Structure 1
Amino acid sequence: MTLWGIIIILASLSIFLEQKYKWAGRISGAVIALVSAIILSNTGIIPTESPVYDAVWTYIVPIAIPLLLFQINVRSIFKESGRLLLIFFISSIGTVVGAITGFFLLKDHIPYLDRIGAMIGASYIGGGVNFAAMTAKFETPGAMVSSTVVADNLMMALLFILLIIIPTLKFFRRRFSTPHVDAVEKIEAQGGKQNSAQSFWVRKDISLKDIALAVGTTFFIVVVSKKLAQLLDTLIPSGNDVSSILNFANALFGDHYLMITTITFLLLWLFPKYFASFNGSQEIGTYLIHIFFVVIGIPASIPLIIENAPLLLAFVAIVAFSNLLISLVVGKLLKADLEEILLASNATIGGPTTAAALAIAKGWTNLVGPILVVGTVGYLIGNYLGTFLGTWFATFM
């Protein structure tokens, strides 16, 4: 209970500070939550591992996703997704380039880097689902897997902070179009002395019935989605003895995050008036996502990295920053919006859930649905590219 209390308090405090002070509004509540969690875990105040954190991933995140989608205009999503998908593929190429570069720079210094390269290459295209698949496929020793996870967690926390800060920097604002940032700032200007977060999250009329409908509908979607995903996971064969097509079909249709998104979109399409009839879903979902922000920062153990895996941190940093750099350069050539580029890069490296969290944290609500849809493509292509990288790298070890 104490650990739950600390997480909830950090999430609440980060939102309060974001809306109370302009300096906090500029860096966002997400960064405050992340950094606070990193400080507490690295000073030993809270543990870096706990079933509580697993519970956040298992229960809090799935519940938050539908709540955050209820206010989205589904019919406009597909218009928004085309360019995002192209940038997503560019970000994936950035991951592959970074994995190849990091491998040849460090292959003589890190054992099993061929297998780790496959794991990180796949993970930084589709997220943790692909990491687990490549770990099992290449049978990487447990000690190396644990060290890689620690390096990956720290890199993800640092990168997430960077992605949140980039849209606030004049260097990038002068060189990229930022329509979603501009829209948030327009709200801020209309709010007078209020900062952007405070202006965006104005007090709304909300009733007990609104809360009941929002929460009840969310739980209905999550339960149905999980049961359906479990059924399809059982019906669609998977494993080393079946074709890659069936394995990917299993990963796609047996994934309850994707199923949650799909069913929510379908209901939004069929019953738009129902979802427009209640308020509060976005606020509740955003609060839950701030709990998620806290948990992201907790496993980023700096002492463990220094002790066990400094070179692994260098490897994952090469892959991550190659992804981001290539995304920015090619995205600029394609005249893509800065927000789309950052979300696509985030979706490849951290998966669609963390990308949606970034969009929510920055107030880019029109991009939440599209990035969730586009990000799931990584589940499909990540394992293909990870398998290719691991097999190819093995010839040099």
Structure 2
Amino acid sequence: MDNTLIKADDIWLLWAFLAGWAAVSIYLEQKYKWASKLSGAIIALLGAMILANLKIIPTESAVYDTVWGYVIPLAIPLLLYQANIVKIMKESGRLLIMFFLSSAGTVAGVIIAFFLLKEYIPGLEKVAAMMTGSYIGGGVNFAALSTKFEAPGELVSATVVADNLMMAIYFFVLILIPTIPFIRKHFRTPHIDQMERDNAGENKAAAYWKGKEISLKDIALSVGTAFTLVAISFKLAEIFGNLIPSGENTNFFFVLLKGTLGDKYLVLTTLTILAVSIFSRYFENLKGAQEIGTYLIYIFFVVIGVPASISLIISQAPLLLAFVAIIVVINLAISLLLGKVFKFNLEEIILASNANVGGPTTAAAMAISKGWTSLIVPILLVGTLGYIVGNYAGSAIGYWFSSLL
């Protein structure tokens, strides 16, 4: 740490880098086509990884620990403010069913990939948990589960590199699928057909992501509520964790109960969803929470690129890339198969799979860029539900696979 240009105790310089590079990544992603194809998450990670390997920034610092301990927990409730389960059921019924079918593809892919590669990748049970959460809910679940299962920083970094590379490839595939004559012949494509008839050429993404009205009150209530939810959730998890018996001779019921009620991220997720469902009008009227939460997640992407050792990624990422590739291929295959069986539109299938693998933001971005305007809000709502489902599914997979080793 001491032979880097910026030292581990240069707190403000490191914070300036984390916050600044996250901002640059978002700017590039929304400004340039090449950056949007690469994705802001990859730009954030690669920038940190390069500077760390060039000895510009340290690989360990209390600043990074602060991001893991405080920034990520705050991002979770902010990103869940729109996850009103009642509203999702009413407005997004078809997409919700397709999303769950695609989620089943993710779980099947993780199970198959794990049993194929568990002998070759150390710590794969942790990776499986993280990728289950990530490929159902997105980066926020990846962050929560990597912390929960105490995955080593270098393993997390190598997994993220493999994951982001696979996502970049996968998004290209999803964009390419509607252009394949065989696919168009066997799937209904009403939204694509409408766009081709209208021949609209305007930049819908730019119009959709224009500035929104937001007040100081919105920021204050959004952030203040997030702090409150985190504080209550973590305290409840601590209390339950201390009350529930643990140890080598503890029966499975108490182990499961402690893993659920004593898990601060699961408690945070559950409490936030309850609050959003009960006080739906309050949370729906808060503006800016999604933007603030997403920005905090970008800071997380910068941090996880920091401890990445190039040599380790070269040695481990190929196998990890194979692991995530198996998951994604099976997710897509099952999504297309079940989507065809249950007569879903191709657009619904693509967006549901995108929401699983990339999260609601990337799915909404694809819907916007393609001009599928009637699907934008539903896929955002359904994809947000993935934050909940992915956290629980990832936890279950992690506990199961850990018990096998």
TM-score normalised by the chain length of structure 2: 0.74
Equivalent residues in 2 for 1:331-370, closer than 5 Å:
331-335=335-339, 337-345=349-357, 355=359, 365-370=380-385
Residue 249 and residue 345 in structure 1: after superposition, are their counterparts in 2 closer, same or farther (change >3 A)? Answer: farther
User: Are positions 1:384 and 2:400 aligned together?
Assistant: yes
- Aligned equivalents of 2:381 and 2:188: distance in 1? 13
User: Counterpart of 2:372?
Assistant: none
Describe the SS at the equivalent of 1:75. Answer: helix
Percent sequence identity over aligned pairs = 34
CA drift at 1:226:
1.0
Cα distance in 1 between the residues matched to 2:67 and 2:18: 10
Aligned length in residues = 351
Residue number in structure 2 paired with 1:207: 215
Q: Which residue of 2 aligns with 1:59?
A: 70
The CA distance in 1 between the partners of 2:161 and 2:282, in whole Å, is 37
Per the alignment, residue 163 of structure 1 pairs with 167
Distance in 2 separating the partners of 1:36 and 1:152: 16
In the superposition, the TM-score normalised over structure 1's length comes to: 0.75
Look up the match of 2:329.
Answer: 325
Give 1:97 shift. 2.2
Q: Which runs of 5+ in 2 are unaligned?
A: 1-11, 134-141, 340-347, 369-378
Deviations 1:316-349 (A, max 9, x none): 3332222222222222211272343345457xxx
Name the CA distance, whole Å, in 2 between partners of 1:191 and 1:46. 44
In the alignment, is residue 28 of structure 1 matched against residue 36 of structure 2?
no
What code does the residue aligned with 1:90 have? G
Contact 2:162 2:321 in 1 (8 A): no
Q: State the alpha-carbon separation in 1 of the partners of residues 29 and 294 from structure 2.
A: 13
| Deviations 1:221-253, CA, capped at 9 Å, x for gaps | 111111111111222223432122322221222
Preserved contact between residue 77 and residue 226 of structure 2 (Cα < 8 Å): yes
Match of 2:240 among 232, 235, 241: 232
Conserved 8 A contact 2:25-2:44: yes
Aligned to 1:350: none
CA contact (8 A) 1:84 1:374 kept: no
Rate the CA distance shift 1:153–1:207 in 2: closer, same or farther, 3 A: same
RMSD: 3.5
C-alpha distance in structure 2 between counterparts of 1:62 and 1:329, whole Å:
34
- Larger mean Cα displacement after TM superposition, 363-372 or 249-258: 363-372
Please give the alpha-carbon distance, in whole angstroms, between the structure 2 residues aligned to 1:76 and 1:340. Answer: 18
Task: Report 1:295-334 matches (<5 A).
Answer: 295-306=303-314, 310=315, 312-334=316-338
Shift in Å, 1:98 = 2.1
Letter in 2 for 1:294: V
Alignment of 1:1-397 (within 5 A): 1-77=12-88, 79=93, 82-103=97-118, 106=120, 116-122=123-129, 124-125=131-132, 150-169=154-173, 170-174=175-179, 175=183, 192=202, 194=203, 196=205, 198-306=206-314, 310=315, 312-335=316-339, 337-345=349-357, 355=359, 365-375=380-390, 376-388=392-404, 390=405
Q: Distance between the aligned counterparts of 1:125 and 1:282, measured in 2? A: 23
1:394 corresponds in structure 2 to none
